[in-house]
């Protein structure tokens, strides 16, 4: 079975899935804040909670971080695509 | 997490809470005995990094660099090691004596994380002491190591992370450029690193300290590499990663921790709201069943007897002295003290909610709704407290980390209808609206909420240019609350209220009393009444005569005073006859307008006092007053004329 991995916005990753950070699209201040929290290119992320609307919760470097939907959609990751 | 616990453990009540000069960030300093030597301990603001993104971080690093403490204890969490070590990386770059306290070993074990302390110490080049501060485990060992380090019996050789390889040359270049121009007390290599990061504060400092051509060169370099922060952060995390790999055993992937399991409910879009509603309901239930009776008890057994005693003691003194002491001073003191039972309950509830770790979940669950109002999830809880009383609501805004959001919340908090306002409505509405009083009350509450939301949106746009800081919030792990920490916090907050707000309230209460007494002890002919009569034209715009205006003015010390004042002005007690007198004197539109104005009127003086306390300036307190003054008058006038037009 081939794993369908492609580039997504973090906000599109399903709960329970893993993702790897690729790039940031947001404002620099936001990116810096994310970086000091552990969101650096190449870091693995686990999507703890994502209900498709509203904020979501991810686990990065052992820390649980809540992100707004807008903020999460500015983070590009590699993750499994659900058809 | 744990830092305050340790601080409180060591200093107990030997601590002083104030503000870092000129800022609204709390500063805690205390003393404890380290083997016979009195040692000063400063609790720096809790941060995970030392960038210039927040005043807390700047305060922490400036203190370390300027005050040159003999030792810095870095409290890090074993349950959150990667994040915690980021701070250690930043601290190591400051070249200060450093000891690492590895706290929350128990919580880490709960989540399945095992730390090899010796390997960690080896990799860091620093002493590491495992602790569970909440149970006071490891404190003695920590102090022993601190003492030995101070006596130079232990040497540390802190390892420092390197910048990601692709940016090392740039960093060297920056160091070369600034080498001879770095002012005290900043280390050259640290400044170069901060410049590379794009640190706003250090860029500002170096711009003033570098000769123009050098600054231009530096600036050009930083612009050419404006995404360098990622490289610096990555470098730190690579370093951290290596350390973790050598010293930490993680749980198998897929093992669900306790926090995860609780968050399935607490952070659920629907159930999270239900749980929040239940918790808030519990807090308010407590205030009514415990707080209100306590307030009455205090009034009956403390204030009233005191007033009686004073009256007796002063029976031979001139009438005005009696009045000033009994009605003005003791009345004022009474009003401050009666706040306390409710405040203590709110402070305790708040502190517990935060210590357990639930506060972040409450903010998370409410953030979506708050977002539409231009506010943050964290603004919700303080605002909600406003339904009980605006005073703890404003003091509760401390949980909001971003200052603009906190200020905005403080400014609109007085629009939340508090119980005192509702007490006035509860008295007047039935007199004029009979059975429909309930609907009128609901309408007034909705009006307040509407004013709250619109003010929030408008102020956000005007003062803060509509910017809303990104929603990025760390969710701490749940853990058993430390009741000692909570207790100390409640004590300190209550004391701060009594001292700061209390003195302001007392002053204002005396002033109002004086104005309502002079020149000859009769309220009807007092300075206050004269003032009310002189501004009657303004009041008439809203359908008020001078008596309603005076009543409104006296609602400043306490909203409920409006009723008492009307009682005095109509020569009746509030219980008998006043209702009829009001019904006979005022039209329904006037009454409705009075209620609207009461709901939206300037905050009571206790609220103004805490606004000043929390914003560290009278400017914002004044703005808050003016804002609501304008809003209430406008609304009152509109409602009055509309009601007249509708033939009410």
Residue of A40, A44, A71 best to disrupt the B interface, most CBs of B under 10 A: A40
The range of the structural domain enclosing residue B204 comes to: 165-249
The predicted model gives B463-482 an average pLDDT of: 78
Instruction: Using an 8 Å CB-CB cutoff, list residues of chain A that contact chain B.
Output: 24, 26-38, 40-43, 48-49, 51, 53-55, 57, 61-68, 70-71
The answer to the question of residue B533 being in a domain is no
The pTM of this model reads 0.78
Strand partners, B30: B15, B41
Q: Enumerate the residues of chain A whose CB falls inside 8 A of the CB of residue B261.
A: none
Of the partner residues B53, B234, B471, the one whose CB lies closest to the CB of residue A71:
B471
Residues B109 and B204 in one domain: no
> Which residues have C-beta within 8 Å of that of residue B533, sequence separation ≥ 6?
B546
pLDDT of amino acid B428: 86
Over chain A, what is the mean pLDDT?
A: 88
pLDDT of amino acid B410: 93
> Which residues have C-beta within 8 Å of that of residue B407, sequence separation ≥ 6?
B463, B615, B620
The predicted model gives B486-493 an average pLDDT of: 86
pLDDT of amino acid B543: 86
Per the CB < 8 A criterion, the answer to whether B320 and B326 are in contact is: no
CATH of residue B212's domain is 1.10.287.1770
Cα–Cα distance, B264 to A48 (Å, whole number): 9
Least-confidence region, from B241-245, B395-399, B443-447: B395-399
Residues B28 and B59 in one domain: yes
Whether B501 shows a pLDDT value over 60: the answer reads: yes
On whether any CB of chain A is under 8 Å from the CB of B229, the answer is: yes
Residues B185 and B212 in one domain: yes
Most confident of A50-54, B342-346, B399-403: A50-54
Cα–Cα distance, B589 to B593 (Å, whole number): 6
Question: pLDDT tens, B142-199?
Answer: 988 888 888 876 667 778 888 888 888 888 888 888 888 888 888 888 898 998 888 8
pLDDT of amino acid B91: 92
pLDDT of amino acid B49: 86
The answer to the question of residue B81 being in a domain is yes
Of the partner residues B113, B229, B472, the one whose CB lies closest to the CB of residue A65:
B472
Question: pLDDT tens, B392-443?
Answer: 889 888 878 778 888 889 999 999 988 888 888 888 888 888 878 888 888 8
Residues B118 and B171 in one domain: no
Question: pLDDT tens, B286-317?
Answer: 877 887 788 778 878 877 788 788 878 877 77
Domain boundaries, chain A: 5-80
The predicted model gives B311-338 an average pLDDT of: 74
The CATH-assigned architecture of domain A5-80 is Roll (2.30)
Whether B223 shows a pLDDT value over 60: the answer reads: yes
**pLDDT band of B210, cuts 50, 70, 90:** confident
Residues B83 and B32 in one domain: yes
Please give the tally of structural domains in chain B: 2
**pLDDT band of B574, cuts 50, 70, 90:** very low
| Residue-wise DSSP of B393-460 | HHHGGGG--SHHHHHHHHHHGGGS--HHHHHHHHHHHHHHHGGGHHHHHHHHHHHHHHHHHHHHHHHH
Domain termination residue (choose one: B249, B271, B297): B249
The answer to the question of residue B73 being in a domain is yes
Residues B53 and B192 in one domain: no
Cα–Cα distance, B347 to B342 (Å, whole number): 9
Whether B335 shows a pLDDT value over 70: the answer reads: no
ipTM of the complex: 0.91
Cα–Cα distance, B199 to B202 (Å, whole number): 6
- Pairing assessment for the beta strands B26-34 and B72-77 based on DSSP bridges: unpaired
Domain termination residue (choose one: B150, B178, B213): B150
Specify the higher pLDDT residue, B371 or B550. B550
The predicted model gives B74-80 an average pLDDT of: 88
The answer to the question of residue B25 being in a domain is yes
pLDDT of amino acid B155: 67
**pLDDT band of B596, cuts 50, 70, 90:** very high
On whether any CB of chain A is under 8 Å from the CB of B237, the answer is: yes
The answer to the question of residue B19 being in a domain is yes
The predicted model gives B320-343 an average pLDDT of: 74
pLDDT of amino acid B102: 93
Over chain B, what is the mean pLDDT?
A: 84
Residues B11 and B90 in one domain: yes
Question: pLDDT tens, B106-145?
Answer: 878 877 788 899 999 988 989 999 998 877 888 889 988 8
Instruction: Using alpha carbons only, give the angle B270, B352, B402 rounded to the nearest 5 degrees.
Output: 75
Residues B14 and B134 in one domain: yes
Residues B123 and B228 in one domain: no
Domain termination residue (choose one: B150, B173, B200): B150
Determine, for residues A66 and B233 on separate chains, whether the beta-carbon distance falls below 8 Å.
no
Instruction: Using alpha carbons only, give the angle B79, B84, B89 rounded to the nearest 5 degrees.
Output: 150
**Helix, strand, or coil here: B39?**
strand
């Amino acid at each position: 079975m081939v794993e369908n991995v492609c580039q997504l916005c973090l906000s599109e990753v399903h709960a329970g899935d893993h993702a790897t950070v690729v790039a940031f699209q947001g404002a620099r201040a936001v990116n810096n804040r994310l970086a000091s929290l552990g969101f650096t290119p190449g870091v693995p992320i686990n999507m703890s909670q994502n209900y498709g609307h509203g904020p979501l919760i991810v686990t990065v470097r052992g820390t649980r971080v809540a992100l707004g939907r807008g903020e999460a959609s500015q983070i590009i990751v590699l993750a499994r695509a659900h058809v | 997490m744990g830092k305050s616990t340790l601080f409180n453990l060591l200093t107990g009540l030997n601590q002083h809470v104030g503000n870092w000069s000129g800022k609204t960030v709390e500063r805690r300093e205390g003393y404890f005995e380290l083997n016979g030597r009195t040692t000063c301990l400063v609790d720096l603001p809790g941060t995970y990094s030392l960038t210039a993104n927040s005043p807390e971080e700047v305060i922490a690093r400036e203190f370390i660099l300027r005050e040159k403490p003999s030792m810095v204890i870095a409290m890090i969490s074993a349950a959150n090691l990667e994040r915690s070590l980021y701070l250690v990386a930043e601290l190591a770059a400051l070249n200060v004596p450093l000891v690492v306290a590895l706290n929350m070993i128990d919580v880490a074990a709960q989540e399945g994380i095992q730390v090899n302390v010796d390997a960690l110490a080896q990799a860091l080049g620093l002493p590491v002491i495992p602790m569970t501060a909440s149970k006071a485990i490891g404190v003695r060992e920590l102090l022993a190591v601190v003492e030995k380090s101070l006596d130079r019996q232990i040497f540390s050789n802190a390892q420092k992370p390197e910048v990601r390889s692709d940016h090392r040359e740039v960093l060297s270049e920056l160091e070369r450029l600034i080498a001879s121009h770095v002012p005290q007390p900043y280390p050259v290599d640290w400044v170069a690193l901060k410049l590379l990061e794009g640190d706003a504060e250090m860029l500002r400092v170096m711009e003033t300290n570098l000769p123009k051509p050098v600054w231009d060169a530096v600036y050009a370099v930083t612009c050419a590499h404006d995404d360098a922060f990622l490289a610096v952060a990555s470098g730190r995390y690579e370093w951290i990663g290596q350390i973790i790999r050598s010293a930490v055993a993680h749980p198998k992937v897929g093992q669900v921790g306790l926090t995860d399991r609780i968050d399935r409910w607490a952070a659920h879009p629907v159930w999270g709201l239900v749980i929040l509603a239940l918790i808030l309901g519990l807090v308010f239930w407590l205030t009514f069943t415990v707080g209100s009776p306590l307030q009455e008890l205090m009034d009956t057994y403390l204030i009233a007897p005191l007033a009686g005693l004073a009256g007796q003691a002063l029976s031979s003194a001139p009438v005005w002295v009696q009045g000033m002491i009994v009605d003005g001073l003791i009345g004022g003191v009474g009003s401050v003290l009666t706040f306390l039972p409710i405040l203590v309950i709110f402070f305790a509830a708040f502190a517990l909610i935060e210590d357990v770790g639930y506060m972040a979940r409450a903010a998370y669950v409410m953030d979506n709704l708050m977002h539409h109002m231009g506010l943050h999830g964290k603004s919700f809880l303080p605002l909600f407290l406003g339904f009980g009383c605006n005073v703890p609501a404003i003091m509760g805004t401390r949980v909001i980390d971003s200052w603009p959001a906190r200020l905005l919340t403080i400014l609109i908090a007085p629009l939340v209808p508090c119980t005192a306002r509702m007490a006035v409505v509860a008295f007047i509405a039935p007199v004029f609206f009979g059975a429909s009083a309930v609907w009128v009350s609901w309408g007034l509450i909705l009006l307040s909420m509407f004013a709250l939301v619109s003010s929030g949106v408008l102020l956000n746009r005007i003062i803060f240019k509509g910017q809303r800081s990104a929603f990025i919030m760390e969710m701490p792990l749940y853990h058993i609350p430390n009741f000692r920490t909570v207790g100390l916090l409640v004590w300190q907050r209550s004391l701060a209220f009594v001292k700061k707000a209390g003195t302001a309230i007392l002053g204002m209460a005396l002033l109002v009393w004086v104005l309502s007494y002079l020149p000859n002890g009769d309220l009807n002919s007092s300075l206050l009444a004269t003032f009310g009569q002189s501004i009657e034209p303004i009041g008439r715009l809203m359908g008020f005569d001078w008596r309603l205006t005076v009543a409104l003015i006296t609602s400043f010390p306490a909203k409920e005073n409006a009723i008492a004042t009307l009682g005095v002005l109509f020569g009746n007690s509030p219980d008998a006859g006043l209702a009829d007198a009001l019904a006979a004197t005022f039209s329904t539109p006037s009454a409705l307008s009075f209620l609207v104005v009461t709901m939206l009127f300037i905050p009571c003086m206790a609220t103004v006092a805490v606004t000043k306390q929390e914003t560290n300036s009278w400017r914002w307190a004044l703005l808050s007053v003016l804002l609501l003054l304008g809003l209430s008058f406008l609304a009152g006038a509109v409602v009055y004329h509309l009601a007249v037009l509708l033939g009410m």
